[in-house]
Amino acid sequence: MIRIDSVTKRYPDGTVAVDRLSLEIPDRSITVLVGPSGCGKTTTLRMINRMVEPTEGTILLDGEDSRRQPVTTLRRSMGYVIQNAGLFQHRTIVDNIATVPRLLGWGRQRARERAAELMERVGLDPSLAKRYPYQLSGGQQQRVGVARALAADPPVLLMDEPFSAVDPVVRKGLQAELLRIQDELGKTIVFVTHDIDEAITLGTMVAVLREGGRLAQYAPPADLLSNPADGFVEDFLGADRGIRRLSFFPSDALELTTDAVIPADATAARIAAVEAPHLLVTDADGRPLGWAAREELTAGDLRTDRLLPYGRPFVPGADSLRVALDCAVLSPVGRAVAVDGHGRVTGVVSQQTIGEAVRAAHTAGRADEQKVAG
Amino acid sequence: MTGFFDIPSDLQHSWAGLIGLHLREALLPVAAGLLLALPIAQLCGRFRWLYPPVLGLTTVLYAVPSLAFFVVLIDYTGQTELTVMIPLALYSLVVLVPAIVDGVRSVPDETLAAATAMGFGSVRRYLQVQLPIAAPAVIAGLRVATASSISLVGVGALIGNQGALGNLLAAAQKYDRPELAVNAVVTMAVLAILCDVLLVALRVLLTPWMPRGGTRLKPAARRAEITPEGAVR
């Protein structure tokens, strides 16, 4: 465990970058430091590997003062990923990744084999091994940065706004990839970002810092959204924190109805039995085709080209309440389509029903919430 | 008219001999200048306040006429090649020091921070990261210094037979043989061009990592971006 114990960083000109900050960073989880620029988040990160020395306070690694080991040894035991990747432009991709193993004295061959292994792990094509950084896209470079940080299998990974310079689509991919890699490797990750969405997506714990390097709140993301400590945190979370919080509620408790779901070859009697104003028409395999108004439907005359689009379906259990609500909002008939893992319709659910589920979830209490968030 | 390559015997060298001598007197000072410039530039990078006065000093040295250097040096080193080469080495500093300083400064902050964070010591970081990335800028400086040195060697003719191909110019006057002057000028120009081509080839060889058809390093543009945070150990 990394323990930051009332650490202060004051520069010679009197600027206080970090002010008596204390944090306990749990092992094998992602802890995000988030805040506006000038809040000392990068300084805090750099104090962990002593690129910046604290003016006061100590940083303990598994109970031991980080100053007790040689600084280069300390740094080689912590992977570091930086904005724009910070790759060595004069070295090939494989040699970039092999950097820390080489510093640790591994043979060239072994280091390169390890590098090849890591390229695969972070989803890089092996054919890129002999390329130089300028030949890669921003997203690929960032993957190389992650691979390079992981090369010597360090227990700790420090990430300083690693994804902020890539476009939003690539960023989402990299975030998903990081979560996948974290599932496999279980590193202790300290992640710095100014993007609250990124913090909420990635963090097991989120530390919100304010200007002057003071801690505003340290909590799991769901807690942050439900109980911001003060106005600053609330403002920082943004206007739609209620909607965002729905990401932490599962959608599997939603009550689905199937009486409005009819196959394309349904009989007139079957159609007549439906009370709802719109029917969801499915193909022979049960996959959704689209919505139809009941009065326009006559048996045997289903014009699939005249159906309203069913929008995006959600998968109960896998998707959150937020996704379910989004599907209902986007649906032309105000109802979300639920499908199973194979894309077959399991039912439909209205905005009203989702709204009730939202209210129930919000009143369910914080204890339940924390379980879900985990 | 006697031959173009018929060198007067008082020069004590054949044409090829003069070329060898000329290259030695021109290139050794550049090499010495490079060896001198590396630590000076390193100091200027480490202590920023040092750079402006150092630049000023190298410029003043460059402004001192070689003849003035010869007058001072001749008491110590006599009418030798060394008397010619010492001023040339000092002249090369005026291009080499800024070339290395700018080259090293052109290394992006993220790259430096990443190297530090991965556990490079400062010496290793300088040799394995900063210098290789500065190579294109350093070689650009070497090209200017080399061409300038090749042309300046000729001044050595002022202190006797130490001007190599430059002596041909003196001989052209002395023996009224203008073709020797043409020979001197053309040979020096060709030598300068050949050395330049070799340096460009060296750069291409050393920097397979550079995008083809241009350089991404823009030292002047990058300088403004250097922050105290980038100056980590």
Q: Which domains does chain A show, CATH number per domain? A: 2-245 (3.40.50.300), 261-360 (3.10.580.10)
The span from the CA of B21 to the CA of A44, in Å, is 60
- pLDDT value for A260: 86
Q: Assess if CATH 3.40.50.720 describes domain B13-207.
A: no
Closest approach of chain B CAs to the CA of A86, in angstroms? 4
Instruction: List % helix, strand, coil for chain A (3-state, nearest 5).
Output: 40, 25, 35
Chain B contacts to A (CB-CB under 8 A): 108, 110-111, 113-121, 129, 132-133, 135, 207-211, 216, 228-229, 232-233
Q: With contacts defined as CB-CB under 8 Å, which chain A residues touch B211?
A: 134
Considering only CB atoms, B119 lies closest to which of A42, A75, A92, namely A75
Using a CB–CB cutoff of 8 Å, tell me whether A232 touches chain B.
no
Mutation target among B109, B110, B112, B118 for the A interface, most CBs of A within 10 A: B118
pLDDT in tens, chain A (374 residues): 899 999 999 999 999 999 999 999 999 999 999 999 989 999 999 999 999 999 999 999 999 999 999 999 999 999 999 988 999 999 999 999 999 999 999 999 999 999 999 999 999 999 999 999 999 999 999 999 999 999 999 999 999 999 998 899 999 999 999 999 999 999 999 999 999 999 999 999 999 999 999 999 999 999 999 899 999 999 999 888 888 888 888 898 899 998 888 888 777 777 778 888 888 989 889 999 899 887 776 655 666 667 888 888 999 988 999 999 999 999 989 999 999 989 999 999 999 999 898 888 877 754 454 544 44
Query: In this predicted model, what pLDDT tens digit does every residue of B134-168 receive, in sequence order?
Result: 999 999 999 999 999 999 998 888 887 788 898 88
Considering only CB atoms, B114 lies closest to which of A80, A90, A132, namely A80
B206 C-beta neighbours (distance < 10 Å), count: 15
In order, the DSSP letters of A217-282 are EEE-HHHHHHS-SSHHHHHHH-TTHHHHHGGGSBSTTS--B-TTEEETT--HHHHHT--SSEEEEE
- pLDDT value for A140: 94
Closest approach of chain B CAs to the CA of A6, in angstroms? 22
The span from the CA of B114 to the CA of B133, in Å, is 14
- pLDDT value for A358: 86
Closest approach of chain A CAs to the CA of B186, in angstroms? 38
Q: With contacts defined as CB-CB under 8 Å, which chain A residues touch B232?
A: 46, 51-52
| Cβ within 8 Å, pair A73-B119 | yes
Using a CB–CB cutoff of 8 Å, tell me whether A9 touches chain B.
no
Q: State the residue for tokens 């040096």.
A: B73
A214 C-beta neighbours (distance < 10 Å), count: 16
Q: What percent of chain B has pLDDT over 90?
A: 63
The span from the CA of B164 to the CA of B11, in Å, is 8
| Cβ within 8 Å, pair B116-A51 | yes
Q: State the residue for tokens 């050595």.
A: B156
Q: How confident is the model at residue B233 (pLDDT cuts 50, 70, 90)?
A: very low
Q: How confident is the model at residue B2 (pLDDT cuts 50, 70, 90)?
A: low
Q: What percent of chain B has pLDDT over 70?
A: 90
Residue pair A321/A358 in contact (Cβ under 8 Å)? The answer is yes
* DSSP character at residue A340: -
CA closest to B113 among chain A residues: A86
Closest approach of chain A CAs to the CA of B46, in angstroms? 17
- pLDDT value for A301: 60
The pair phi, psi for residue A371, each rounded to 5°, is: -60, -45
Considering only CB atoms, B118 lies closest to which of A52, A80, A91, namely A80
Using a CB–CB cutoff of 8 Å, tell me whether A102 touches chain B.
no
- Where along chain B do its domains lie? 13-207
Q: State the residue for tokens 């750069």.
A: B203
Q: With contacts defined as CB-CB under 8 Å, which chain B residues touch A71?
A: 119
Considering only CB atoms, A75 lies closest to which of B118, B133, B229, namely B118
- pLDDT value for B226: 36
Using a CB–CB cutoff of 8 Å, tell me whether A80 touches chain B.
yes
Residue pair A148/A99 in contact (Cβ under 8 Å)? The answer is yes
Q: With contacts defined as CB-CB under 8 Å, which chain A residues touch B133?
A: 88-90
- pLDDT value for B9: 82
The span from the CA of B215 to the CA of B218, in Å, is 8
Interface of A with B in 24-43 (CB under 8 A): 42
Q: Which of A309, A301, A362, A316 is nearest to A331 (CA)?
A: A309
A57: left (phi over 0), alpha (psi -120 to 50) or beta: left
- pLDDT value for B11: 81
Burial of A257 (0-12, 13-18, 19+ CB in 10 A): middle
The pair phi, psi for residue B149, each rounded to 5°, is: -65, -40
Lowest-confidence segment of A287-301, B53-67, B214-228 by average pLDDT:
B214-228
| Cβ within 8 Å, pair A80-B108 | no
Query: Does an H or E element contain A348, and which?
Result: strand A345-350
Q: With contacts defined as CB-CB under 8 Å, which chain A residues touch B111?
A: 86-89
| Cβ within 8 Å, pair A88-B111 | yes
The span from the CA of A94 to the CA of A133, in Å, is 10
Closest approach of chain A CAs to the CA of B59, in angstroms? 32
Residue pair A81/A141 in contact (Cβ under 8 Å)? The answer is no
Q: With contacts defined as CB-CB under 8 Å, which chain B residues touch A89?
A: 111, 133, 209, 216
Query: Does an H or E element contain A335, and which?
Result: strand A335-339
CA closest to A51 among chain B residues: B232
The span from the CA of A122 to the CA of A130, in Å, is 16
| Cβ within 8 Å, pair A99-B118 | yes
CA closest to B233 among chain A residues: A51
Q: Which of A160, A169, A100, A116 is nearest to A139 (CA)?
A: A169
- CA B131, B137, B143, B144 torsion-angle sign: negative
Q: State the residue for tokens 């910046």.
A: A52
Torsion of CA B152, B158, B160, B161, to 10 degrees: 30
For A300, the 3-state DSSP assignment is coil
Does residue B93 register a pLDDT over 80? Answer: yes
| Cβ within 8 Å, pair B119-A84 | no
Q: Which of A373, A313, A306 is nearest to A347 (CA)?
A: A313
Closest approach of chain B CAs to the CA of A47, in angstroms? 11
